[in-house]
Chain A
Amino acid sequence: MSDEHFPVIVVGAGLAGCAAAYRLAKAGYDVLLLERGKRPGGKNVSGGRLYSYALEALMPGEWLDAPLEREVRREMIMTMTERGAVTVNGLLSPNHSGTSYTVLRSKLDGWLAKKAEQAGALVMTGVTATEIVIKDGKACGVLVGDERLEADIIICADGANSLLAENAGITNKVTMENIALGVKLVVGLPEQTINDRFNLSGEDGAACLMVGDCTKGLAGGGFLYTNKESLSLGLVVDASSIKSAKTNIADMIEELKEHPAISPLIVGGQLLEYSAHLIPEGGLNMMPKVFDNGLMIAGDAAGFVINSGLTLRGMDYAILSGIAAAETAIKSIQAADYSAEQLNQYEVMLRLNVLSDMETFKKVRGFMKDTAGLYTAYPKLAETIFKSIFTVDGRPAKRISKVMINSILSHTSVWQLIKDGVKGALSL
């Protein structure tokens, strides 16, 4: 298989890589998709809620057959203290726009890679690309050990811990300041039990985001998603905070299981899997040059993720960037021009969606990392207000406004609250 030549090689059969390969194959172009896992999806982890608009953009109508778990209809936000929690719980009306589905990546990526294959892509699994070959300033192939595969265009979609682009010197090394570590438990439970516990009917699903004691004061948060017959429970914590606090996130997730607001939801469940994965959260600050001569970088490898605090989005951006990379590659092949000037079209396309969203949220990460109150004082405040309102102990009643003011003063200074409020309003 030495020195084979392809118009396009895509490295990584995650959502970005599968989307790119699918689009290219569908348009009739030869494309080789390389995946280091034994099968596509076997190395991938997500929360995960996927917004369906991205699937619709990729494969109109066809995505309805994809192995999606449940449509999210119940949204919950939980602020947690050590033993308590205040939860906002809303049910979205049917036919709301912007639907999202819970997904399990092992199934979803496998399905998508199969679709790419059926469209004509050559998918090779169990193949770890070790290097991008650069000749005369242009990416012209990849090395798999000693073997060399040549291509006019390389689409590098190798995920958050992207060794390829980094080793080729195309991107700067990512630093832990720009990365979060996610850990996740998939807990098996019967479908009906899940429906009863989360107050769901039929195939509807719930998404619960947690902030506060679940991360023991560190910047980050928790998530709980309902799948068909399992729950995805996890934590996402800033990697540099873990290092400086010397806290073990492997213990943190077990403590979360025992939290009084979580344990009744998972009781009786069987652990099906324990996983971990990095998340690039640096936003535009860490974004590398996403194209060069003969090369485009897509998905997590390019840092296309937004963590707004209440939503974590990377899967939809991975798909959108995969589509943009494929369309740019097609134009480039038609023009027989693989230069950076030609591939600049990729960034132009991304500015319409991925990059403009990242611009909108560019200050959020700083706010989330620097506002310590989000993880300790404010969840306590929410609980105290709740307690005060609902505590009736025979002592003289207080007006609710007074209860709230007293609670606020006991947990934070008014000045701090105003400062955080203003910062939050400007960055969120």
Chain B
Amino acid sequence: MKRLSVDERLARNKFESNDETPHIIIDRQECRNCVHKACIYSCPAERYQLNADEELIFDHVGCLECGNCRLVCEKLRESKPGYKWNYPVKGGGVIFRQG
């Protein structure tokens, strides 16, 4: 079986994400001060990435709702100002058809 990128893998899943209201919120400016940026390699869906300006970009669409970023990021964990981790509401987000 050929190797697939995370995006190719996510494309096989079903998502019903609400584009307007992300269930996870981070503060890009504040993230510049983060020394470990563990979210980048701890997210199995690679939703956290650095752009060309070394700025952290987060895309909630495609999130597998595992909760690992909430464990590795102190700011999400403590709901520091500008940071929030919640489950999507109204049945939004990933819909596993296998599980």
Contacts and interface: CB of A to CB of B under 8 A. Distances in A.
B65 A274 contact: no
A128 B88 contact: yes
B71 A174 contact: yes
Interface string B7-36: 001101100100000000000000000001
Given A38-B16, A248-B41, A163 B87 contact: yes
B83 to A, nearest CB: 14
Contact of B91 (A106, A125, A163, A242): A125
Contacts of A187: 1
On chain A, which size bracket covers the interface? 35 or more
B1 A161 contact: no
B16 A263 contact: no
A128 B42 CA distance: 25
Contacts of A107: 99
B41 A242 contact: yes
Contacts of B90: 126, 128
Contacts of A254: 3-4
A258 B4 CA distance: 11
Contact of A239 (B3, B68, B88): B68
Contacts of A39: 95
Interface string B58-99: 000000111110111000010000000011111101111111
A293 interface: no
B91 A37 contact: yes
Nearest to B79: A167
Interface stretch (A42-50, A87-95, A346-354): A42-50
Nearest to B63: A276
Interface in A245-289: 246-250, 254, 257-258, 263, 266-269, 271-278
A387 interface: no
A197 interface: no
A36 B87 CA distance: 8
Contacts of B65: 43
On chain B, which size bracket covers the interface? 35 or more
B55 to A, nearest CB: 20
Contacts of A38: 16, 91, 95
A190 to B, nearest CB: 15
B10 A274 contact: yes
A278 B1 contact: no
A258 B77 CA distance: 35
Nearest to A173: B77
Contacts of A43: 65, 93-96
A181 B66 contact: yes
B71 to A, nearest CB: 4
B1 A106 contact: no
B17 to A, nearest CB: 12
A161 B91 contact: no
Interface in A129-156: 130, 145
Contacts of A183: 44
25 contacts: A42-B91, A43-B94, A44-B96, A106-B97, A126-B91, A130-B86, A176-B68, A176-B71, A181-B42, A242-B42, A242-B72, A243-B72, A246-B38, A250-B46, A263-B1, A272-B12, A273-B96, A273-B98, A274-B64, A275-B94, A275-B98, A276-B44, A276-B66, A276-B68, A278-B68
Interface of A: 36-39, 41-46, 104-109, 125-128, 130, 145, 160-161, 163, 173-176, 179, 181, 183, 185-187, 230, 239, 242-243, 246-250, 254, 257-258, 263, 266-269, 271-278
Closest 6 CB pairs of A and B: A126-B91, A105-B99, A161-B67, A38-B91, A274-B9, A106-B99
